[in-house]
């Protein structure tokens, strides 16, 4: 068992008067061998995952070279029902911290459309990748550079099950937020609430419920431009069924 701690203590002063104080404190226990039979250590990391993770043709994550990216005009990416307030389940599964439960919001379930997508895609969960998992922070890189954290919002094609979506080329759409850790990061501030909830309830193995969660709190203010490519899940079995929409916080 190893204990990994990311402690970010960010202070900004607002014209010398009011102090904004934000603490992002993640203190989780990760076992060297995960409950899934795979993980991120030497012995069970990506090189050992096998299957499509090794033999696939469009595996994620990738390094995005901005010079090689084509500029395309897509319709605006729409985040619908992300302003709805509902309850989410927060779970530390040993590999990530994940929020889910939006499928139970029925007609209020958040979804995305536009942005080059041919269908609506419904939000089923979001989770974070940061340096505790892989020592690098983000999974995707831009011009070879990692970001301190990467948040994935996983959506599946409207009206389908996860299993159906896994087996279609365009079954899943993941919005990825590449996040800088700094005092004015609204995305991290929003995620900070999720972490705090988890910590206050301490890790008991089961999910913690947050009653009044508004998914839009996690979105960056500007999502007019993003990187779009077709790739895969970044966890076993690495199914090549994912449309990636990658946003960076300005």
- Binding region for Zn ion (CB under 5 A): 152
Residue placing its CB nearer to Zn ion in the complex, 125 or 185 = 125
Residue placing its CB nearer to Zn ion in the complex, 93 or 108 = 93
| Closest separation in Å from C-beta 129 to Zn ion | 5
Half-sphere exposure of residue 71, counting CA atoms within 13 Å on the CB side?
Answer: 3
| Closest separation in Å from C-beta 128 to Zn ion | 8
| Closest separation in Å from C-beta 186 to Zn ion | 20
Residue placing its CB nearer to Zn ion in the complex, 113 or 232 = 232
Residue placing its CB nearer to Zn ion in the complex, 10 or 180 = 180
| Closest separation in Å from C-beta 35 to Zn ion | 17
Q: Is 19 helix (H, G, I), strand (E, B) or coil?
A: strand
| Closest separation in Å from C-beta 201 to Zn ion | 23
Q: Is 71 exposed, middle or buried (0-12, 13-18, 19+ CB in 10 A)?
A: exposed
Residue placing its CB nearer to Zn ion in the complex, 152 or 155 = 152
| Closest separation in Å from C-beta 188 to Zn ion | 16
What does the radius of gyration of the chain's CA atoms come to, in whole angstroms? 18
For 35, 73, 166, 242, 247, the CA distances from 228, given in Å and listed in that order, are 32, 11, 19, 11, 9
- What one-character-per-residue DSSP string does 100-122 give? E-GGGGGGG--EEEETT-SS-EE
Residue placing its CB nearer to Zn ion in the complex, 117 or 151 = 151
């Amino acid at each position: 068992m190893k204990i990994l701690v990311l402690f970010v203590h960010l202070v900004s002063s607002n014209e010398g008067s009011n102090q904004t104080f934000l603490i992002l404190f993640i203190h989780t226990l990760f076992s060297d061998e995960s409950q899934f039979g795979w993980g991120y250590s030497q012995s069970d990391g990506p090189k050992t995952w096998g299957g499509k993770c090794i033999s696939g043709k469009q595996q994620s994550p990738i390094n995005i070279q901005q010079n090689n990216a084509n500029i395309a005009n897509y319709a605006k990416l729409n985040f619908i029902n992300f302003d709805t307030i509902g309850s989410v389940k927060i779970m530390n599964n040993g590999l990530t911290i994940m929020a889910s439960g939006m499928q139970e919001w029925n007609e209020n379930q958040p979804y995305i459309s536009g942005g080059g997508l041919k269908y609506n895609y419904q939000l089923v969960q979001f989770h974070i990748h940061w340096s505790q998992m892989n020592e690098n922070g983000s999974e995707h890189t831009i011009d070879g550079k990692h970001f301190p954290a990467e948040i994935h919002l996983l959506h599946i094609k409207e009206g389908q099950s996860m299993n159906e979506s896994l087996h279609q080329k365009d079954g899943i759409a993941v919005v990825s937020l590449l996040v800088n850790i700094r005092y004015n990061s609204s995305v991290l501030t929003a995620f900070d609430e999720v972490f705090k909830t988890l910590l206050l309830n301490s890790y008991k193995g089961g999910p913690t419920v947050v009653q009044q969660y508004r998914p839009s709190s996690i979105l960056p203010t500007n999502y007019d431009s993003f990187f779009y490519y077709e790739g895969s899940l970044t966890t076993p079995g690495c199914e090549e069924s994912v449309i990636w929409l990658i946003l960076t916080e300005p």
